[in-house]
């Protein structure tokens, strides 16, 4: 057990706990906030692992943008405040979910841990320049594709949200063919 | 070129007929009939020329799959080709007397042409995959014939019968495809002649058995082999006359022909191992079909069950593994083609006259009101019960003989038991044949009277009756054609 | 020096939690949270193995960056559709059968 | 062999065949049909006579090719005809009977609208029989054999408007076909063992294997078929019913052809048949049972035509029994001799009874009673026939029967087998019984009590008048049909008055040709026995005198007994002593038909089971797939709730499954 | 680290670049000139054609032939490599996108130009993703391109605006997001197992050195199957399919059935090809998934009365056929899978095109319901013939020879690997498939009154479909006829 081990263990524990809480809490906004905690501590994990750029981006994009979007969405969909069991599925489905989750975890663990669990890694820091070089050098093609993806996602999101719609209480609108 | 033309004419005529004309029924009826007649006659002429000149065609088609357009004629396919071409004309001529109802006549004749095309291509092809493709060509036209032009009294039954036919057959042909692919993969060639020449060299027993089993089940459905036969009676019952004729006389033969080409020749060991089971199924079919005929009340169903029985003899002959057995099977193939065509033409005409093919209803005795139909009926059922001197005899007798003395690698005792049971089947055949004659041929009722066969119908019946006689008196016409190629397959030295 | 089993265990837990969240939630936005957790488990695995392997292309970290960006793009479209759903139906319950 | 002999041999079979095919085309025209059929029969007879001459004059024997050998790998099937003394003489006999019957039919069926079909079928029947006789190949034998069977079906069922005729025809064919199952198997065994179907080659091969079990099996199988065709127990019951057919058909079937075919085939195969004692014993038992049983049944028949039918059954067993006992040294000669003589007198009897039945409109004993008293022209032929049948010396029947007895005697003295004793005793008893039923028939035919004479005469006259009207109609029709002169019209039939006026004195009601046939047959029945002094049959002309004498004594005693029993009142029917109930039992053939029906109904029950199984078991799989498919579909629809949440469950369950399966199976 | 810069050959990238650039141009033009609706489509078609031309050089290359670019310096690995199969898939994707555009050709009144531009650009982007993923050789391009091919389709489905469209979009969206999460995890596992960012045989062979990592690679492949299984509509990842098809506008449903499947298979084939040299005896998971897809898809299709839902379930079934050869994991299997997909896409596009033409002629309510096809052969014989050909191709029966040859091709590797059970299941499903398509065809061929309709032929109702739709029908039908006569035209695209 090195100090880094302990550090990672502590941060990781928080991450894991907040992740579990994020998917189990009965309060909508709490779920989003637990997600913030989980993603934030995960950024800490990245830092411990020596990926400072990734950690930064994680904080910027995920915590800064994604979670804000999620919160907005919760508000726009008039999410009720306070505890509400309505957000979770039926008991049967939750039990199934637990089984599947346990299965997924153990499957991954059964595959990953025996093979690699014994290894150690020594974190290297200060790699940001190399990453930048590779990102715009070797990985330029996926990077460019990614830019197209972002652009189109933006346009798509705009187009979908600006779509003319009727009020939810009105009867089903007449089916129209766009062709 | 002759060969390709013989294939192209029905294919193109059929397609053209289907794609054109749905207007003004009366004129298109006559025109479609005329066009089909001309096409069928031309095809038949070309087929005859092809059989005589024996050309070979070999073109690249699907290099990616190693599939080639390889067509040629040999002794085994020649009689079947002639039969197909002849019946191709016969159904068109017969349809002059009984115009199709239920849909556009151009579609009807187009489908007839396409069925003929598919059958000819099946018998001509020398590439296993092309064989399979040709095999499939007939399905949809036949499905259309049954589902559109079938018995209009009972629409759900029509849907059921046509669906059964096409689905059951597709199951068979897909299993056959699996077998073909396995064969081609393990033998390394798709050429049927090369496959036959290799005689399974390089394939171990278990591989041969697996492939042979797949092919036998697949083709067995088409034959149809007991217990895969239950699609046949409804299909025959519902199908229009032309459909029944083509189905019984040609389509069933594609199954047995396929077994000769794809199983017996290239997989002698595997087939030898499965032959007892195959033969047993055939013999059960003989008895099963025959017994069913004894109490069946619908004449068309009855003939369908008798087809099951007759094909059982073919199967028995094939299983024996001897030249005599193979010759018997090929002859019985042709014999059943002629006889079942005769009976279905006849019964189709009767059904039109009677309004149904139910035997339980009292009707005028055929002998009294329509002597020509009566004559054809007597000859047809005499041939059907395997009367010597008529076409049905030789195949059945030789099949029984060959089952009694099968090839060396067959279990002799078991095959002999099968031979005895098959012989018993001939008595059952006599039973149902005479039952039908007693019910509808003899008697003193003269009402309701109906017209006797004349014109197209009579000429078709007469020619078939004559063929039943001629081939029965001179079986050598067929047997001599097939003998050379058969002895190559069995590699048996003639004494 | 970090023992590898620690981050790997976290990967497994995150993936499991994500899977749970995806199924156990009926609110569409909460389902998205589950998806994010799965994506983050993948990211953590990339970063961890990137650090172990340390290849010249910096594959681990670069791909993590890609995935974070893709996640952002996804969330954008997803929220737009969820809002559209809300406007059509008045709720965003995934346990209700679609039209 | 010379080309002429070859052609003649083929012609023998071909002529009737061609005649039947041609006859089919002109079946609607009586005259043309008659000409074609008669020409065919004449050609056959001429060719047959030439063969007989050639065979004996040049001592020829050999094979004649037909349609060429069939290429069947290791099975040789040359399909040759075989001409030798045996076949030549039988061909001759068949030719005579055939021609006689064709001529007779022309008259007998003069008012039948299906005469053309009938006569064509008779030609085909003859072709079948001649093929069996000339066959040098088992397959050709089978062809002729079955063709005869089919023709018998058509002929017996000629009056297809009558349900009883149709039933009898069906029964005849089915019974013989059933018996033929074993026959076919026997043929297959013989052919397969020798690798050829050529009879001479095959016999040569099998002769090298005496005592072979397979040979015994094959021969017993053959016996089954022969018993069927020859109407031996237990397949005998079709033959009496076959009397539903027109009398010429009965004559044809009973005389030289179908029922005798079995004898001929067995005679042909005699060289190997003698190799198997068990088979011979089986035959001896079958024939013994049949000849006694049938003779007893014959006695009690209320219908004289049926009496003749049972007599045929009994007589055929005598023929066959000769084959069961004849030592190799004796050969098949006695059987063939009996075949020939039986052909003559039985044809004679049938034609004469047929003639009479036309005159009195019926074949029952009651109808025929006193028949020959009214129709004196029939007294001689019928008398000759019955005497020959009873085996009274020196008629043909006597000579032949003595040879059979002689064969049995030789068997006992030379081989001492049980078969010899069985046959000897059975034939001895049948001599008595045959004489008894012949006497009974004759007494009935001649008996007429004085007080009934008047009524009978009236009845007979009426019947004949009815016939005559139709004869007139037919002749008129014939004459008007294209102006064909009625050249074969009766001698005094040129005017209506003649025909009408003297039906019972002159022979106005019968064609010259038909009368000729009866006459020829009668002549041959008388002198037929002399054939033993010709080289035509392979028998030594010797008679075992003590046997002949004792059988003659038995015949006389039997005659006296029946004579004594015959009542003077009624129709003088000795059988009436049996009582009406027993007569009915005899008429029903002791219920053999019921056994057949019971057997057939079992088959039908099996068939019903098959149909049910076809629907409920085999087709159940097919319908079952539909049910299963539908069930999966319904379940699938229930599972697909259209809830996005459930999609995700599916997705992750699938993921887990795929992952686990992947990791564990790879 | 200057050597990190890769060399770019734009010509090789053209199939992916052209539609992407086309999308950008459409957006720019839309901003510049607001009223040019048709222009967008023209630009899009041109870009697709340019892309298609770009694939020509790669078509029909012999085995082993490959066109690559974005190669790392020093003879290293390339991030983009298109072999014959990839080029064939790219061409098919571009043409299928073209058909989609033709089907959605704007009517004068209905749509605003803004949505037109968005739709066109989204279609083009998704197409670019589909073509890019076929050539991707690294995890980055692979993931990004796959998402590029997926995300726009969610919006395309939703953009119809109807309630069912939103439901379909939600179904598609949730499944897509989770699946992408799985794919990301799969990519991470691949990287974990191989230590390489490339999806190549060389990378996969690395696990041979360390057997303990083999399960990681296997799990990665399993996750790939699951993640891509969603896009291919494989059971049990299929459930979104009927909802999305039914909710989406018809052209978009066609797009989902065509381009999306090509993208998914392109992505899957890369992974399969990479692991093929490991000598896997058989990919049991793929076999199971394929069998389940065929069976469930066919059986459910048998019960549908909406033709779009029927086609959706038929997609599920056909997807089973598409991946079935991959259970054998050989180069022949890759070829077979690609060939089957192309045949399926062609036939299914034709079916969609005919449905679209009928929707325009007879109205949606009638044309989307199976019973609305009653007597089509009498009213519109040409459309009926085209539909019949498409259905028979899907069923794999002549005259749809292409479908039959595709089935032959697909069964070959299965049989060669002696996967008898799989082959028998496929045979049974061939039967079920025939039942599905003939059920439709029978309705098409039926006539209202069997006895009366023939005596008085009624003038067929006029066909009032949009010309562009008819062009799409015509092009697809001609292509299907030509390839049915000579299937080598399709097979040859994928190399020999």
Q: How far apart are CA D60 and CA D82, in angstroms?
A: 11
Q: How far apart are CA D570 and CA D577, in angstroms?
A: 12
Tens of pLDDT along D36-61? 888 888 998 899 888 888 888 777 77
Tens of pLDDT along C75-97? 999 999 999 998 888 888 888 88
Residue among A4, A2, A1 nearest A48 (CA): A4
pTM, to two decimals: 0.90
Tens of pLDDT along D174-203? 999 999 999 999 999 999 988 899 998 988
The residues pairing with D198 across neighbouring beta strands, listed in sequence order, are D137
Tell if the CB–CB gap between D656 and A111 is shorter than 8 Å. no
| pLDDT number for residue A75 | 84
Q: Which residues of E touch B167 (CB under 8 A)?
A: 431, 434-435
Q: Which residues of D touch C97 (CB under 8 A)?
A: 641-643
D524 and D635 in one domain? no
Q: Does D661 touch chain E (CB under 8 A)?
A: yes
DSSP code string of D238-277? HHHHGGGS-HHHHHHHHTTSHHHHHHHHHHHTHHHHTT-H
Q: How confident is the model at residue B128 (pLDDT cuts 50, 70, 90)?
A: very high
Neighbours of E64 (CB within 10 A): 9
Q: Which residues of C touch E185 (CB under 8 A)?
A: 15, 38, 41-42, 45
| pLDDT number for residue E232 | 93
Query: What's the average model confidence in pLDDT over C68-74?
Result: 93
Residue among B258, B345, B263 nearest B300 (CA): B345
Residue among D388, D259, D365, D389 nearest D305 (CA): D365
Q: Which of D579, D610, D641 is the last residue of a domain?
A: D579
The DSSP H or E segment spanning D39 is: helix D30-57
Least Cα separation, residue A177 to chain C (angstroms): 16
Tens of pLDDT along E470-490? 999 999 999 999 999 999 998
3-state secondary structure of A67: helix
Tell if the CB–CB gap between E226 and D659 is shorter than 8 Å. yes
Give me the total of CB pairs closer than 8 Å, taking one residue from chain A and one from chain E: 147
Q: How far apart are CA D627 and CA D620, in angstroms?
A: 10
Q: How confident is the model at residue D488 (pLDDT cuts 50, 70, 90)?
A: very low
Residue E493 has pLDDT above 90, yes or no: no
Residue E274 has pLDDT above 70, yes or no: yes
Judge whether D47 lies within some domain: no
| pLDDT number for residue D457 | 58
| pLDDT number for residue D466 | 43
- The residue of chain B nearest to residue D176, with distances taken between CA atoms, is B427
Tens of pLDDT along B59-82? 988 888 889 999 999 999 999 999
Tell if the CB–CB gap between C25 and A45 is shorter than 8 Å. no
Query: What's the average model confidence in pLDDT over E157-162?
Result: 88
Contact B/C (≥3 CB pairs under 8 Å): no
Q: How far apart are CA E324 and CA E303, in angstroms?
A: 24
Residue E2 has pLDDT above 50, yes or no: no
Alpha-carbon B413 to chain mean position: 31
Given the structure tokens 């679609």, which residue do they identify? C98
| pLDDT number for residue D32 | 87
The mean predicted confidence, pLDDT, of chain A is 84
Q: How far apart are CA B142 and CA B166, in angstroms?
A: 8
Write out the two tokens for A50. 């020596």
Tell if the CB–CB gap between B434 and D162 is shorter than 8 Å. no
Cβ atoms D595, D171 nearer than 8 A? no
Residue E322 has pLDDT above 90, yes or no: yes
Tell if the CB–CB gap between E426 and B174 is shorter than 8 Å. yes
DSSP code string of D104-155? HHHHHTTT-TTHHHHHHHHHHHHHHHHHHHHB-BHHHHHHHHHHHHHHHHHH
Q: How confident is the model at residue E67 (pLDDT cuts 50, 70, 90)?
A: confident
Q: Which residues of B touch E424 (CB under 8 A)?
A: 175, 178
Q: Which of E405, E411, E431 sits opposite B62 (nearest CB)?
A: E405
Lowest-confidence region among B376-385, D77-86, D560-569, E365-374: D560-569
Tell if the CB–CB gap between C97 and D641 is shorter than 8 Å. yes
Write out the two tokens for E222. 């399993």
Tens of pLDDT along D251-260? 888 877 888 8
Q: How would you label E288-318 residue by residue, b for 16+ Cβ within 10 Å and e otherwise?
A: bbbbbbbbbbbbbbbbbeebbbbbbbbbbbb
Judge whether D426 lies within some domain: yes
D649 and D524 in one domain? no
Alpha-carbon A21 to chain mean position: 14
Lowest-confidence region among B324-328, D237-241, D588-592: D588-592
Radius of gyration from C-alpha coordinates of chain E = 22
| pLDDT number for residue D493 | 36
Cβ atoms D173, D51 nearer than 8 A? no
Question: Domain segments of chain C: what residues?
Answer: 5-89
Question: Domain segments of chain A: what residues?
Answer: 1-81+107-122, 127-162
The mean predicted confidence, pLDDT, of chain E is 88
Is it true that domain C5-89 has CATH number 1.10.287.3510? yes
Q: How would you label D80-97 residue by residue, b for 16+ Cβ within 10 Å and e otherwise?
A: bbbbbbbbbbbbbbbbbb
Q: Which residues of B touch E339 (CB under 8 A)?
A: 64
Tell if the CB–CB gap between A111 and D663 is shorter than 8 Å. yes
D518 and D624 in one domain? no
Tens of pLDDT along E22-48? 999 999 998 887 777 788 899 999 999
Q: How far apart are CA D384 and CA D661, in angstroms?
A: 98
Q: Which residues of B touch E437 (CB under 8 A)?
A: none
| pLDDT number for residue D478 | 39
Cβ atoms D293, D233 nearer than 8 A? yes
Q: Does D658 touch chain E (CB under 8 A)?
A: yes
Fold of A1-81+107-122: 1.20.120
Judge whether D589 lies within some domain: no
Residue D310 has pLDDT above 80, yes or no: yes
Q: How far apart are CA B35 and CA A83, in angstroms?
A: 81
Structural domain including D444 reads: 332-459+509-579
Tell if the CB–CB gap between C56 and A134 is shorter than 8 Å. yes
The residues pairing with D72 across neighbouring beta strands, listed in sequence order, are D75
Tell if the CB–CB gap between E299 and D633 is shorter than 8 Å. yes
| pLDDT number for residue D456 | 57
| pLDDT number for residue D471 | 38
| pLDDT number for residue A170 | 36
Q: Which residues of C touch E154 (CB under 8 A)?
A: 77-78, 81
Tell if the CB–CB gap between C47 and A49 is shorter than 8 Å. yes
A3-24 and C28-53 are packed helices; what angle lies between their axes, rounded to 10 degrees?
160
Q: How far apart are CA B240 and CA D196, in angstroms?
A: 45
D638 and D614 in one domain? yes
The mean predicted confidence, pLDDT, of chain D is 81
Alpha-carbon D437 to chain mean position: 21
Peptide bond into E334 cis (omega under 30): no
Q: Which residues of B touch E486 (CB under 8 A)?
A: 61
Q: How confident is the model at residue E113 (pLDDT cuts 50, 70, 90)?
A: low
Radius of gyration from C-alpha coordinates of chain D = 30
Query: What's the average model confidence in pLDDT over B139-160?
Result: 87
| pLDDT number for residue D452 | 57
Nearby residues of D521 by Cβ (< 8 Å), 6 or more positions away: D96, D97, D100, D344, D345, D347, D348, D351, D381
* Residues 379-438 (E) with a CB less than 8 A from some CB of A: none
Residue among E223, D59, E97, E399 nearest B121 (CA): E399
Q: How far apart are CA E186 and CA E189, in angstroms?
A: 5
D572 and D522 in one domain? yes
Residue D479 has pLDDT above 50, yes or no: no
Q: Which of C10, C25, C86 sits opposite A23 (nearest CB)?
A: C25
Lowest-confidence region among A81-95, B294-308, D404-418: A81-95
The residues pairing with E7 across neighbouring beta strands, listed in sequence order, are E71
Residue C16 has pLDDT above 60, yes or no: yes
Q: How far apart are CA B335 and CA B356, in angstroms?
A: 27
D654 and D525 in one domain? no
Q: How confident is the model at residue E282 (pLDDT cuts 50, 70, 90)?
A: low
Q: How confident is the model at residue D565 (pLDDT cuts 50, 70, 90)?
A: confident
Tens of pLDDT along E328-339? 878 888 999 999
Q: How many domains does chain D have?
A: 2
Residue percentage of chain B with pLDDT more than 70: 98
Residue among E111, E123, E119 nearest E35 (CA): E111
Using CB atoms, list chains with 3+ pairs below 8 Å to chain D: A, B, C, E
Q: Does B407 touch chain D (CB under 8 A)?
A: no
Residue B307 has pLDDT above 90, yes or no: yes
Tens of pLDDT along E125-159? 999 999 999 999 999 999 999 999 999 999 999 98
Residue among B484, B477, B464 nearest B90 (CA): B464
Tens of pLDDT along D204-236? 988 888 778 899 999 999 999 999 888 888 888
DSSP code string of D273-335? HTT-HHHHHHHHHHHHHHHHHHHHHHHT-SBHHHHHHHHHHHHHHHHHHHHHH--TTTTTHHH
Neighbours of D580 (CB within 10 A): 9
Task: List the single best residue of D27, D75, D190, D609 to mutate versus B (max B Cβ within 10 A).
Answer: D75
Query: What's the average model confidence in pLDDT over D297-304?
Result: 84
Q: Which residues of A touch C54 (CB under 8 A)?
A: 124
* Residues 141-180 (D) with a CB less than 8 A from some CB of B: 142-147, 150, 153-154, 157, 160-163, 165-167, 170, 173-174, 177-178, 180
Q: Which residues of D touch A100 (CB under 8 A)?
A: 649, 652-653, 656
Q: Does D638 touch chain C (CB under 8 A)?
A: no
Q: Does B281 touch chain E (CB under 8 A)?
A: no
Write out the two tokens for B392. 């049905």
Q: Does D635 touch chain E (CB under 8 A)?
A: no
Q: How far apart are CA D234 and CA D277, in angstroms?
A: 21
Task: List the single best residue of E148, E185, E206 to mutate versus C (max C Cβ within 10 A).
Answer: E185
| pLDDT number for residue B21 | 61
Q: Does A148 touch chain E (CB under 8 A)?
A: yes
Q: Does E170 touch chain C (CB under 8 A)?
A: yes
3-class SS string, E277-313: HHCCCCCHHHHHHHHHHHHHHHHHHHCCCEHHHHHHH
Q: Which of D579, D609, D641 is the last residue of a domain?
A: D579
Tell if the CB–CB gap between C32 and E177 is shorter than 8 Å. yes
Tens of pLDDT along B204-261? 899 999 999 999 999 999 989 988 999 999 999 999 999 999 999 999 999 999 999 9
């Amino acid at each position: 057990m090195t100090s880094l081990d302990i550090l990672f263990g502590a941060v990781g524990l928080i991450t894991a706990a907040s992740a579990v809480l994020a998917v189990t809490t009965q309060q909508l906004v709490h779920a989003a906030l637990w997600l913030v905690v989980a993603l934030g501590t995960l950024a800490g994990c990245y830092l411990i692992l020596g990926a400072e750029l990734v950690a930064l981006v994680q904080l910027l994009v995920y915590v800064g943008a994604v979670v804000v979007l999620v919160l907005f969405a919760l508000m726009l969909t008039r999410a009720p405040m306070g505890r509400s069991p309505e957000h979770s599925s039926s008991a049967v489905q939750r039990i199934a979910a637990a089984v599947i989750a346990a299965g997924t975890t153990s499957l991954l663990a059964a595959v990953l841990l025996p093979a690699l669990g014994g290894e150690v890694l020594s974190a290297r820091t200060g790699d940001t320049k190399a990453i930048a070089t590779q990102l715009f050098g070797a990985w330029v093609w996926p990077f460019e594709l990614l830019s197209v993806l972002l652009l189109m996602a933006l346009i798509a999101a705009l187009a979908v949200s600006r779509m003319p719609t009727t009020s939810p209480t009105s009867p089903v609108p007449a089916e129209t063919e766009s062709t | 070129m002759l060969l390709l033309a013989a294939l192209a004419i029905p294919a193109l005529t059929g397609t053209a007929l289907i794609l054109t004309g749905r207007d003004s029924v009366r004129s298109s009826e006559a025109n479609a009939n005329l066009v089909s007649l001309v096409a069928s006659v031309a095809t038949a002429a070309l087929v005859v020329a092809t059989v005589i000149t024996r050309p070979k065609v070999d073109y690249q088609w699907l290099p990616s799959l190693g599939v080639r357009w390889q067509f040629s004629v040999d002794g085994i396919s020649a009689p079947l080709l002639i039969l197909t071409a002849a019946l191709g004309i016969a159904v068109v001529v017969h349809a002059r007397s009984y115009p199709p109802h239920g849909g556009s006549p151009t579609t009807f004749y187009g489908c007839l042409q396409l069925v003929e095309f598919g059958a000819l291509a099946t018998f001509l092809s020398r590439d296993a995959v092309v064989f399979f493709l040709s095999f499939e060509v007939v399905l949809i036209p036949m499905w259309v014939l049954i589902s559109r032009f079938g018995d209009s009294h009972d629409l759900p039954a029509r849907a059921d019968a046509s669906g059964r036919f096409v689905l059951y057959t597709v199951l068979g042909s897909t299993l056959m495809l699996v077998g073909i692919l396995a064969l081609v993969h393990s033998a390394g060639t798709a050429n049927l002649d090369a496959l036959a020449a290799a005689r399974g060299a390089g394939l171990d027993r278990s591989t041969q058995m697996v492939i042979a089993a797949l092919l036998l089940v697949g083709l067995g459905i088409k034959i149809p082999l007991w217990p895969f036969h239950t699609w046949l009676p409804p299909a025959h019952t519902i199908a229009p006359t032309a459909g029944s004729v083509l189905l019984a006389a040609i389509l069933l033969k594609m199954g047995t022909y396929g077994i000769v080409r794809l199983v017996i020749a290239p997989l002698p060991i595997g087939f030898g191992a499965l032959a007892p089971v195959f033969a047993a199924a055939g013999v059960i079919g003989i008895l099963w079909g025959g017994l069913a005929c004894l109490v069946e009340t619908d004449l068309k169903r009855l003939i369908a069950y008798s087809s099951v029985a007759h094909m059982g003899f073919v199967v028995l002959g094939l299983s024996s593994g001897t030249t005599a057995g193979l010759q018997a099977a090929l002859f019985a193939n042709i014999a059943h083609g002629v006889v079942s065509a005769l009976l279905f033409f006849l019964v189709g005409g009767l059904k039109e006259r009677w309004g149904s093919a139910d035997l339980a209803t009292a009707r005028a005795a055929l002998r009294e009101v329509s002597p020509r139909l009566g004559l054809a009926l007597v000859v047809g059922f005499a041939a059907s019960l395997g009367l010597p001197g008529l076409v049905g005899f030789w195949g059945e007798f030789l099949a029984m003989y060959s089952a009694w003395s099968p090839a060396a690698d067959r279990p002799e005792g078991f095959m002999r038991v099968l031979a005895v049971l098959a012989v018993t089947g001939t008595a059952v055949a006599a039973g149902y044949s005479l039952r039908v004659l007693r019910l509808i041929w003899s008697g003193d009722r003269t009402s309701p009277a109906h017209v006797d066969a004349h014109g197209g119908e009579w000429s078709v019946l007469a020619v078939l009756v004559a063929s039943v006689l001629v081939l029965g008196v001179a079986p050598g016409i067929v047997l001599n054609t097939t003998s050379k190629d058969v002895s190559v397959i069995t590699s048996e030295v003639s004494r | 020096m970090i023992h590898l089993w620690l981050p790997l265990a976290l990967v497994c837990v995150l993936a499991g939690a994500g899977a749970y969240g995806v199924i156990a939630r009926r609110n569409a936005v909460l389902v998205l949270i589950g998806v994010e957790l799965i994506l983050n488990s993948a990211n953590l695995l990339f970063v961890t193995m990137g650090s172990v392997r340390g290849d010249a292309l910096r594959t681990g970290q670069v791909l993590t960056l890609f995935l974070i960006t893709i996640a952002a793009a996804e969330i954008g479209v997803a929220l737009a559709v969820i809002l559209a759903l809300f406007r059509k139906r008045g709720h965003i319950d995934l346990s209700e059968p679609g039209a | 062999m010379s080309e002429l002999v070859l052609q003649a041999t083929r012609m023998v079979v071909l002529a009737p065949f061609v005649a039947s095919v041609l006859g089919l085309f002109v079946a609607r025209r009586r005259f043309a049909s008659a000409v074609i059929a008669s020409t065919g029969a004449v050609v056959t007879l001429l060719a047959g006579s030439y063969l007989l001459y050639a065979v004996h004059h040049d001592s020829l024997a050999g094979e004649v090719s037909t349609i060429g050998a069939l290429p069947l790998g290791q099975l040789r099937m040359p399909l040759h005809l075989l001409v030798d003394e045996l076949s030549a003489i039988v061909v001759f006999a068949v030719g005579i009977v055939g021609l006689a019957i064709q001529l007779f039919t022309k008259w007998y069926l003069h008012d039948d609208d299906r005469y053309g079909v009938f006569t064509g079928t008779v030609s085909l029947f003859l072709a079948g029989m001649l093929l069996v006789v000339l066959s040098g190949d088992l397959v050709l034998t089978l062809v002729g054999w079955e063709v005869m069977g089919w023709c018998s079906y058509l002929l017996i069922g000629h009056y297809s408007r009558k349900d009883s005729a149709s039933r009898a025809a069906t029964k005849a064919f089915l019974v013989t076909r059933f018996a033929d199952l074993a026959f076919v198997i026997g043929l297959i065994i013989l052919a397969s063992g020798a690798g050829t179907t050529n009879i001479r080659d095959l016999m040569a091969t099998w002769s090298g294997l005496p005592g072979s079990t397979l040979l015994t099996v094959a021969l017993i199988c053959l016996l089954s078929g022969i018993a069927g065709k020859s109407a031996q127990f237990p397949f005998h019951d079709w033959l009496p019913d076959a009397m539903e057919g027109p009398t010429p058909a009965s004559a044809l079937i009973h005389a030289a052809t179908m029922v005798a075919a079995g004898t001929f085939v067995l005679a042909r195969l005699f060289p190997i048949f003698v190799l198997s004692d068990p088979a011979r014993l089986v035959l001896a038992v079958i024939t013994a049972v049949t000849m006694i049983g049938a003779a007893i049944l014959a006695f009690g028949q209320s219908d004289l035509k049926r009496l003749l039918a049972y007599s045929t059954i009994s007589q055929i067993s005598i023929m066959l029994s000769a084959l069961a006992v004849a030592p190799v040294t004796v050969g098949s000669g006695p059987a063939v001799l009996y075949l020939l003589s039986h052909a003559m007198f039985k044809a004679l009897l049938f034609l004469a009874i047929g003639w009479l039945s036309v005159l009195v409109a019926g074949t029952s004993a009651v109808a025929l009673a006193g028949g020959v008293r009214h129709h004196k022209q029939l007294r001689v032929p019928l008398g000759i026939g019955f005497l020959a049948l009873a085996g009274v010396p020196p008629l043909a029947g006597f000579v032949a029967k003595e040879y059979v007895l002689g064969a049995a005697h030789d068997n006992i003295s030379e081989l001492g087998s049980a078969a010899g004793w069985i046959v000897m005793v059975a034939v001895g008893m049948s001599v008595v019984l045959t004489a008894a039923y012949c006497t009974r028939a004759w007494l009935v035919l001649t008996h007429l009590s004085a007080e009934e004479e008047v009524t009978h005469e009236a009845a007979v006259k009426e019947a004949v008048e009815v016939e005559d009207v139709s004869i007139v109609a037919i002749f008129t029709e014939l004459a008007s049909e294209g102006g064909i002169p009625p050249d074969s019209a009766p001698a005094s039939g040129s005017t209506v008055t003649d025909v009408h006026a003297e039906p019972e004195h002159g022979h106005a009601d019968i064609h010259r040709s038909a009368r000729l046939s009866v006459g020829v047959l009668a002549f041959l029945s008388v002198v037929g026995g002399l054939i033993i002094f010709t080289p035509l049959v392979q028998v030594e002309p010797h008679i075992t005198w003590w046997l002949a004498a004792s059988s003659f004594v038995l015949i006389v005693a039997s005659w006296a007994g029946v004579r004594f029993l015959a009542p003077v009142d009624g129709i003088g029917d000795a059988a009436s002593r049996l009582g009406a109930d027993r007569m009915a039992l005899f008429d029903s053939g002791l219920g053999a038909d019921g056994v057949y029906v019971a057997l057939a109904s079992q088959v039908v029950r099996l068939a019903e089971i098959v149909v049910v199984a076809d629907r409920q078991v085999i087709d159940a799989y097919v319908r079952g797939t539909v049910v299963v498919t539908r069930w999966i579909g319904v379940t699938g629809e229930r599972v697909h709730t259209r809830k996005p949440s459930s999609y995700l469950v599916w997705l992750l369950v699938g993921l887990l499954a795929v992952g686990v399966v992947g990791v564990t199976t790879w | 680290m200057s050597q990190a810069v890769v060399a770019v050959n734009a010509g090789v990238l053209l199939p992916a670049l052209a539609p992407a650039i086309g999308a950008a141009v459409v957006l720019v033009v839309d901003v510049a000139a607001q009223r040019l609706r048709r222009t967008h489509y023209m630009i899009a078609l041109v870009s697709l054609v340019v892309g298609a031309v770009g694939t020509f050089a790669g078509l029909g290359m012999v085995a082993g032939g490959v066109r690559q670019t974005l190669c790392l310096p020093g003879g290293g690995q390339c991030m983009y490599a298109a072999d014959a199969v990839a080029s064939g898939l790219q061409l098919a994707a571009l043409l299928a996108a073209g058909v989609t555009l033709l089907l959605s050709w704007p009517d004068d009144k209905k749509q605003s130009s803004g949505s037109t531009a968005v739709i066109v650009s989204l279609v083009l982007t998704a197409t670019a993703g589909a073509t890019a993923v076929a050539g991707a050789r690294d995890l980055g391009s692979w993931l990004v391109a796959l998402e590029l091919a997926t995300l726009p389709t969610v919006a395309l489905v939703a953009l119809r605006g109807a309630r069912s469209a939103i439901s379909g979009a939600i179904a598609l969206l949730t499944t897509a997001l989770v699946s992408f999460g799985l794919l990301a995890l799969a990519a991470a596992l691949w990287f974990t197992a191989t230590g390489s960012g490339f999806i190549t045989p060389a990378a996969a062979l690395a696990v041979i050195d360390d057997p303990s990592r083999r399960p990681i690679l296997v799990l990665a492949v399993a996750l790939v199957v699951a993640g891509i299984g969603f896009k291919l509509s494989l059971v049990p990842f299929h459930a979104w399919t009927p909802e999305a098809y039914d909710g989406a506008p018809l052209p978009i449903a066609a797009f989902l059935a065509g381009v999306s499947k090509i993208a998914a298979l392109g992505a899957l084939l890369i992974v399969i090809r990479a692991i093929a040299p490991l000598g896997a005896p058989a990919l049991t998971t793929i076999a199971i998934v394929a069998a389940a897809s065929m069976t469930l898809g066919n059986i459910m299709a048998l019960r549908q009365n909406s033709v779009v839902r029927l086609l959706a379930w038929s997609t599920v079934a056909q997807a089973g056929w598409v991946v079935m050869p991959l259970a054998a994991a050989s180069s022949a299997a890759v070829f077979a899978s690609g060939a089957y997909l192309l045949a399926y896409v062609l036939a299914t596009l034709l079916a969609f095109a005919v449905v679209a033409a009928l929707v325009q002629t007879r109205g949606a309510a009638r044309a989307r319901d199976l019973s609305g096809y009653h007597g089509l052969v009498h009213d519109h014989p040409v459309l009926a013939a085209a539909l019949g050909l498409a259905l028979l191709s899907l069923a794999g029966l002549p005259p749809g020879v292409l479908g039959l040859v595709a089935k032959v091709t697909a069964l070959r590797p299965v049989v060669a690997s002696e996967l008898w059970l799989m082959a028998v299941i496929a045979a049974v499903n061939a039967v079920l498939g025939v039942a599905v398509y003939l059920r439709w065809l029978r309705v098409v061929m039926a006539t209202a009154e069997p006895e009366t309709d023939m005596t008085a032929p009624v003038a067929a109702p006029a066909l009032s479909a949009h010309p562009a739709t008819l062009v799409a029908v015509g092009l697809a039908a001609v292509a299907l006829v030509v390839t049915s006569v000579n299937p080598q035209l399709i097979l040859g695209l994928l190399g020999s």
